[in-house]
Amino acid sequence: MTAVPTHRLIDANVPRYTSYPTAPHFHDGVTPETVSGWIDAVPADEAISLYLHIPYCDRLCWFCACHTKQTLRYAPVADYLAMLYREIAMVGRRLAGRGIVRAIHLGGGSPTMLRPKDMQSLFRRLRESFTIAADASVSIEIDPNDMDEARLDALAEVGTTRASLGIQDFDRRVQNAINRKQSFETTREVVEGLRGRGVGSVNLDLLYGLPFQTLATLDRTIELSLSLRPDRVAIFGYAHVPWFKKHQTMIDEAALPGPDARLEQAQGAARLICEAGYLPIGIDHFALPADSLAAAAREGRLTRNFQGYTDERCETLIGLGPSSISRFRQGYAQNMPSTAAYGRLIEAGGLAVVRGLSLSDEDRMRGWVIERLMCDFGFSVTALHGRFGAGAEAILHEAALLAQTSPHFASNGDRFAIGADSHLFARSIAAHFDSYLSSRKARHSAAI
């Protein structure tokens, strides 16, 4: 059989696999009524993770692929919060005390745009509507340019346990090319302010593959970032998807590194971070050995969801706000992406769900295989059989064929695994088990 060329894995455009099936395959057959039934079926002791989307920024970074919009006025943010509070109360009433919230994540947009009193009000509403565990983790994405002493105080007061700071790159030419000006000094002050207020864990998010980025500029950014000794570092490949996010057309495509340069940047970044004492977690995360994410990876408990790699063991994830995706045992549901239309749906008194997908047994099986490849770089034949019985034979046949044709994937006794030197190709390898990918319903970013 013909081997799969390495350059095809580098050039491949495939999903990031933060879910399976992936969002482009959601459809309008999942309705508010469907999701109301799923909420009603949540067990009393179910562990729940909440995701709250803040869809506003006070500047628009050209590299961003998130659902957000720029505003220089606070009035739209305040109006949006009124709708979000109504959705929180609506879902809380539906749960009627069932489920225990063990993780809360605020993303965006820029959650730190919220004024301190509004951040405190938001968490007060959450406590009124949900049963929240005393030791629940609270993670908030931070734009360091938003921060001041009052906002730092508010983050501490609402119980933030983990702060994720977006950096991207400290090189001024790169920053100008992506409209993201942010000094190292500002970033350092925020990190020190968080730690001084007892926030126990700090994550830094970096990007490779940016316009005008070179190995030298990326190495310098990593050096500065690691000088802050973050608990975790994530370095993602920039996803250039101008057909999906029109503002990315502001980026000069001629200045973007090519596939080979991107691979070199990804490998060089991983080497530097590991040399500084961090352990690799999946394809793009790194953690200090004592971090809970590193422990989860060692113990085979690592999972992957819409926030990336996590050690949370919550089967149910409830997304609140426009574009937010929820995951229930029965399937996925996504809210209306448009902030204005989301507000109208909530104001009308119903859930803002507009699409989703009910999971089949095959979806669950392929999703398990893909998640294990993304988290553990392999899967056990025995474990697959134990979970899915005779239905596993079709996937095992596919895995055996792939092992014969790819130098990056092999069978080793009871286990199929991606080679130790090929972990960066995990997305491309996982795509071989994606039965939806051939439908070509979506265009995806580069695998590396």
Give pLDDT tens digits for 70-101.
898 999 999 999 999 999 999 999 999 999 99
Token reading at 36 = 């109301």
| Percentage of the residues of the chain whose pLDDT score is greater than 70 | 95
* 31 vs 5 pLDDT, higher one: 31
Whether the predicted pLDDT of 38 surpasses 80 = yes
Which residues have C-beta within 8 Å of that of residue 261, sequence separation ≥ 6?
Answer: none
Domain spanning 18-320 has what CATH number? 3.80.30.20
Both tokens assigned to 190: 């925020």
For position 2, what pLDDT does the model report?
A: 47
- Report the alpha-carbon distance of residue 421 to residue 110 in Å, rounded: 36
Flag whether pLDDT at 390 surpasses 70: yes
Q: Is residue 447's pLDDT more than 60? A: no
Tell me: pLDDT of 61 over 90. Answer: no
Q: Which two tokens stand for residue 1?
A: 């059989």
Q: How far apart are CA 96 and CA 100, in angstroms?
A: 11
pTM of the model: 0.93
Strand partners, 51: 105, 319
**What mean pLDDT is predicted for residues 403-419?**
95
pLDDT value, residue 14:
86
pLDDT at residue 444, rounded to an integer:
57
Q: What is the pLDDT of residues 120-152, one digit of tens each?
A: 999 999 999 999 999 999 999 999 999 999 999
- Give the whole-angstrom CA distance, residue 143 versus residue 210: 18
Question: Average pLDDT of the chain?
Answer: 93
The type of residue at 220 is: R
E-only strand ranges, 399-440: 409-412, 415-418
What are the CA-CA distances from residue 31 to residues 26, 96, 377 (Å)?
A: 11, 21, 35
Return the structure tokens found at 152. Answer: 């730092």
- Average pLDDT for residues 94-121, to the nearest whole number? 97
pLDDT at 448 over 80: no
Write down the pLDDT at residue 9: 57
pLDDT at 443 > cutoff 70: no
- Cβ neighbourhood burial of 117 (10 Å; 0-12, 13-18, 19+): exposed
Q: Is 322 helix (H, G, I), strand (E, B) or coil?
A: coil
* pLDDT given at position 63: 81
Rounded to an integer, the average pLDDT of 113-119 is 97
For residue 245, name the pLDDT band (cuts at 50, 70, 90): confident
Q: Residue 1: what pLDDT?
A: 40
| 182/224 Cα distance (integer angstroms) | 13
* CA separation for the pair 240, 177 (Å, rounded): 13
- Displacement of CA 207 from its chain's centroid (Å): 14
Residue 247 and residue 59 in contact, taking contact as beta carbons nearer than 8 Å: no
**Residue 17 confidence (pLDDT) above 50:** yes
Q: How many CB atoms lie within 10 A of CB 445?
A: 19
Q: How does DSSP assign 358-374, residue by residue?
A: EPPHHHHHHHHHHHHHH
- Residue 69 — pLDDT band, cuts 50, 70, 90? confident
Average of per-residue pLDDT across 349-365:
97
% of the chain with per-residue pLDDT over 90? 85
Tokens representing 187? Answer: 């970033």
Summarize the confidence of residues 324-350 as an average pLDDT: 97
| pLDDT at position 382 over 80 | yes
Between 119 and 245, the higher pLDDT residue: 119
Residue 441 has pLDDT above 70, yes or no: no
Average pLDDT rounded to a whole number, residues 282-291: 96
> Nearest-CA neighbor of 53 among 37, 69, 39?
69
pLDDT (tens digit, 9 = 90+) per residue, 370-379?
Answer: 999 999 999 9
Q: Dihedral of CA 55/320/80/105: which sign?
A: negative
Residue 268 pLDDT: 96
For 141-185, write each residue's pLDDT tens digit: 999 999 999 999 999 999 999 999 999 999 999 999 999 999 999
User: CA 323 to CA 321: how far, in whole Å?
Assistant: 7
If one compares 30 and 13, the residue with the highest pLDDT of the two is 30
pLDDT given at position 445: 61
Instruction: Give the tens place of pLDDT for each residue, 206-230.
Output: 999 999 999 999 999 999 999 999 9
Residue 11 has pLDDT above 90, yes or no: no
SS3 label, residue 45? coil
List, for residues 20-30, the tens digit of each pLDDT value.
Answer: 999 999 999 99
